[in-house]
Amino acid sequence: MQPRFLAFPQGFWWGSAWSAEQAEGRGNTGKGRTQWDMSWDRDPHRFYHGVNTDITTDFFHRYRDDIQLMKQTGHNSFRLSISWARLFPQGDGEISPAAVAFYRDMLQEMNANGIKPFANLYHFDMPEAMMLKGGWENREVVAAYVNFCDACFREFGDLVFHWFTFNEPLGPVLGGYMEDFHYPNVIDFKRGVQVGFHTLLASALAIKAFKTHQLPGKIGIILNLSPTYPRSEHPADVQAAKYADLFYNRSFLDPAVKGTFPPELVDTLRRHDLMPQYTEQDLQDIRDNRVQILGLNYYEPRRVKARASAVNPDAPFMPDWYFDSYVMPGRKFNPHRGWEIYEKGIYDLCVDIRDNYGNIEAFISESGMGVANEERFIREGQVQDVYRIGFIQNHLAYLHQAIQEGCNIKGYHLWTFIDCWSWINAYKNRYGLVSLDLATQQRTVKKSGEFYKALSDENGFYFNGLYVDF
């Protein structure tokens, strides 16, 4: 096959993403405790190799050097998060001047080096004081969050390119109330529905506050979306896929972009007595304050089939009362993370946004491949992660096709920049363009980091066909 050059639109955002809790470390600003400290106190055995969030990648102390590494790996943009617990150690009350100074200096440094800051305002890091009030189950916490957002717009509005209210708001619902991997680790879908509703309300109210500041950038939300594929065209399989898509994609996508909830979802929640508490004003605020830009996190597809067995009526309600997961024979698979690799899913996702969500301005806000024991691939002091280069190229080929077909996609952000701490799994799987030595905090650019620099400089790459050796 003759290589062909895939050129991306002028001004395309090349970069990566991570969060405050996963990269900053505690620092010395008097940062408040978060839900992860609470989880560590209660269940330290759940944290891989006993590594918590005290140090992580120590970006707090190393951000000037790390921003130079961003330039060295081709970044013209970068998504970080602002820690609510750093800015307001108790979640509300007095703002921390030291935290404001830290973030202003760091954001100025990024801008001075030609890197557009994308600021996310919540990435799974509830302040402990707010968690003790019930977290997103409590309306008071919604008000405190909006106050935090308003402070961020005021203090950093001149330095941030685009804003995002939440990263993967489905995550705290899944982890905290359905699948037992986030604090508070309860199994109660109705409480999870309330958390989801209050999160969407908080996002809308933050957007409402943003509008009052008349800032130059846009504000949106970042959603983890997995295109849903039925096992077959059998009507029962198709219906199963419809329900999976409803619960896991459209539940947040529709209200965020369209301002309304899918009627089928509302009917299903009513049927099982799972409706949240809300007011008509809440619904009006969600309708009136929709996102202006959409971040798309894509890692894997969702494949489902009709249920093969009856539901236990005494078991707690879960969405999979309506479907079973399906493992497609012959799938490409990342054994380290346990996820299917299906590059065409990124194309299908973009086309769905184009056709069903007004072709809203969007970008790939996360895409990445976690691999364990990457030391195996060190040659002459560098991780030779050709598998990651192939993964990126394959996805970008489909993304390029989507853009050529009219999808309004403005950028691609990889997860992640430097190997960072992951929820519970710590540093088990490495995702970075830059490797991290945990003992010394030494950073070394991987082979993929060199590729990413060339990709950004050339605003495209020569494509030889799908890389298959994962």
Does residue 410 lie within any of the structural domains? yes
Q: What is the mean pLDDT of residues 55-80?
A: 98
Q: Comparing C-alpha atoms, which of 16, 31, 51 is closest to residue 422?
A: 51
127 neighbors 33 (Cβ within 8 angstroms): yes
How many CB atoms neighbour CB 114 within 10 A? 11
Does residue 470 lie within any of the structural domains? no
Token representation of residue 171:
């995550």
CA distance 5 to 397: 10
pLDDT digits 0-9 by tens, 163-183: 999 999 999 999 999 999 999
Please tell me the predicted confidence (pLDDT) of residue 103. Answer: 98
Domain containing residue 375: 4-463
Per the DSSP assignment, residues forming a β-bridge with 253 are none
Q: Coil, strand or helix: which one is 435?
A: strand
Residue type at 256?
A
Whether this model's pTM surpasses 0.85: yes
CA distance 16 to 429: 17
Does residue 469 lie within any of the structural domains? no
120 neighbors 148 (Cβ within 8 angstroms): no
- Higher-pLDDT residue of 468 and 441 is 441
Q: End-to-end alpha-carbon separation of the chain, Å?
A: 20
Does residue 445 lie within any of the structural domains? yes
Q: Is the pLDDT of residue 260 over 70?
A: yes
How many CB atoms neighbour CB 237 within 10 A? 20
Query: Strands, E, within 26-144: which ranges?
Result: 77-81, 116-120
User: Which residues does 199 contact at the CB level (< 8 Å), separation at least 6?
Assistant: 136, 166, 169, 172, 173
pLDDT digits 0-9 by tens, 414-460: 999 999 999 989 999 999 999 999 999 999 999 999 999 999 999 99
187 neighbors 196 (Cβ within 8 angstroms): no
Q: How confident is the model at residue 124 (pLDDT cuts 50, 70, 90)?
A: very high
Instruction: Output the average pLDDT for the chain.
Output: 97
Does residue 68 lie within any of the structural domains? yes
Q: Coil, strand or helix: which one is 173?
A: helix
Please tell me the predicted confidence (pLDDT) of residue 69. Answer: 98
Counts of helices then strands in the chain (DSSP H, E): 16, 21
Does residue 101 lie within any of the structural domains? yes
Query: Strands, E, within 380-458: which ranges?
Result: 382-383, 409-414, 429-430, 434-436, 443-445
Q: Coil, strand or helix: which one is 367?
A: coil
Tokens 């600021």 belong to which residue? Answer: 119
Q: Comparing C-alpha atoms, which of 87, 121, 61, 78 is closest to residue 363?
A: 78
Q: Is the pLDDT of residue 469 over 90?
A: no
Say which CATH number the domain at 34 has.
3.20.20.80
Overall domain count for the chain: 1
Please tell me the predicted confidence (pLDDT) of residue 346. Answer: 98
CA distance 89 to 93: 9
Q: Comparing C-alpha atoms, which of 65, 166, 158, 27 is closest to residue 104?
A: 158
Q: DSSP readout, 188-239?
A: -HHHHHHHHHHHHHHHHHHHHHHHHHT-SS-EEEEEE---EEESSSSHHHHH
Looking at the annotation, which residues are catalytic?
A: 168, 366
CA distance 377 to 452: 18
CA distance 146 to 165: 10
Per the DSSP assignment, residues forming a β-bridge with 295 are 222, 363
Query: Strands, E, within 135-181: which ranges?
Result: 162-167
Please tell me the predicted confidence (pLDDT) of residue 338. Answer: 79
pLDDT digits 0-9 by tens, 316-345: 999 999 999 999 999 998 887 778 999 999
CA distance 277 to 296: 28
Supply φ then ψ for residue 127, to 5 degrees: -60, 145
Q: Coil, strand or helix: which one is 351?
A: helix
Please tell me the predicted confidence (pLDDT) of residue 470. Answer: 64
Please tell me the predicted confidence (pLDDT) of residue 465. Answer: 85
436 neighbors 57 (Cβ within 8 angstroms): yes
Token representation of residue 397:
């080929």
Does residue 468 lie within any of the structural domains? no
Please tell me the predicted confidence (pLDDT) of residue 1. Answer: 66
Q: How confident is the model at residue 467 (pLDDT cuts 50, 70, 90)?
A: confident
- What are the residue ranges of helices labelled H in 24-96? 35-42, 59-72, 84-87
Q: Comparing C-alpha atoms, which of 150, 138, 143 is closest to residue 219?
A: 150
Does residue 350 lie within any of the structural domains? yes
Q: Is the pLDDT of residue 273 over 80?
A: yes
CA distance 344 to 348: 6
pLDDT digits 0-9 by tens, 290-313: 999 999 999 999 999 999 999 999
Q: Are strands 378-379 and 382-383 parallel, antiparallel or unpaired?
A: antiparallel
